Amino acid sequence: MDSQDLQVLAALRRWQAEGHRAALVTVARTWGSAPRPAGAWMALRDDGRVQGSVSGGCIEDDLIARMRDGRIAGSRPFALTYGVTREEAGRFGLPCGGTLELVVEPAPDMALLAELAARIEAGQLVSREVQLESGSVSLGAASRGDVLAWDGRGLTSVHGPLWRLLIIGAGQISRYLAPMAQALDYAVSVCDPREEYATEWDVPGAALVPGMPDDVVLAMSPDPHTAIVALTHDPKLDDMALLEALKAPAFYVGALGSRVNNAARKDRLRTYFDLSEEEVGRLHGPIGLYIGSRTPPEIAVSILAEMTAVKNGVVVARPEMPVPASAGCGVG
């Protein structure tokens, strides 16, 4: 599953090949309760077709009208602001007086966009700088932790897998979790030393990393943009990954298993692996938000939901309700 950026880039290149003119619109800055975050992209075709979004829909309608009547034209990028007044915010469907500042590129350089797409698909982090006065656009290397910058004259956006996810176990849940995470701009890798599972792993873009889980975690050098989830349901493998992951600054570490199994796992980690109470306390287990998950895709959704909440600093209360033994997987 492609990320939103790749979907927009693919649409722009396809439209050009079909002989259409197309513009690229970027959310440069937001105030108030804006529907889409800074950095969101939308591709806009000369006949009004769109890919991506910059708001809940009403601003898109105005941009389509501008494109159709020739107000988005030429080659020089320019800024547009919506919702300066409360009346305008209401007219464009921006809640609570929200405001959006956009950068519009009426004629983006398709060769540079093709290069950007190739670098994203190769797993690279890329910065893209647009200067309004000169109209120049350039690409450069970016690092995790870099953020969008906009000063009213130049826009620097960051593209590619800003987050990393290491999955321990190449089972059925992982087959759903990996592409879902890729759609959220995670660079996904999978470790499973069990030949029976590893030889069948074929999820595009999610590399199978050889080695034992603890060695793979150490080699990965987890940082605050890294999540690690242990999904083999085999303590011999999951514990190996966790004993290293919980000592690292990964923003999320989770493990599959029931409440009983996770309590036993935490005891093992304290007793046999000499992890501190604080380190053990970082473990999310049972993994995922409680949403009544039973099937592998539902479990993958619950895991990603909890990862997203943690990444965004949202505290979600875990209900004190037992997971039926029939669930087996121990999610939420």
| Bigger pLDDT: 1 vs 253 | 253
14: phi then psi, degrees, rounded to nearest 5: -65, -45
- Amino acid code (one letter) for 211: G
Provide the residue count of the chain: 332
Mean pLDDT score of the chain: 89
- Tell me the pLDDT band of 238, cut-offs 50, 70 and 90: very high
The answer, yes or no, to whether residue 326 has pLDDT greater than 50, is: no
What pLDDT does residue 121 have? Answer: 86
> What tens digit of pLDDT does each residue of 175-209 get?
999 999 998 989 999 999 999 999 999 999 899 99
For residues 189 and 78, give the distance between their C-alpha atoms in angstroms, rounded to a whole number.
Answer: 39
For residues 210 and 51, give the distance between their C-alpha atoms in angstroms, rounded to a whole number.
Answer: 38
What pLDDT does residue 41 have? Answer: 94
For residues 44 and 141, give the distance between their C-alpha atoms in angstroms, rounded to a whole number.
Answer: 27
Task: Give the helix/strand (H/E) hosting 33.
Answer: none
Q: How far is C-alpha 67 from the geometric centre of its chain's CA atoms? A: 30
Long-range contacts, stretch 42-51, CB < 8 angstroms, 24+ apart: 42/8, 43/8, 43/11, 43/12, 43/15, 44/72, 45/11, 45/15, 45/20, 45/21, 46/20, 46/21, 46/22, 47/20, 49/15, 51/7, 51/8, 51/11, 51/12
Cβ-contact 185, 160 below 8 angstroms? yes
Provide DSSP, 226-252.
EEEEE-S--HHHHHHHHHHHTTS--SE
Cβ-contact 182, 3 below 8 angstroms? yes
For residues 271 and 263, give the distance between their C-alpha atoms in angstroms, rounded to a whole number.
Answer: 12
Token output for 97: 């007086």
What pLDDT does residue 226 have? Answer: 96
The answer, yes or no, to whether residue 318 has pLDDT greater than 80, is: no
For residues 297 and 234, give the distance between their C-alpha atoms in angstroms, rounded to a whole number.
Answer: 20
Where do the domains of the chain lie, and which CATH numbers do they carry? 4-159 (no CATH), 163-327 (3.40.50.720)
For residues 150 and 280, give the distance between their C-alpha atoms in angstroms, rounded to a whole number.
Answer: 40
Share of the chain above pLDDT 90, in %: 74
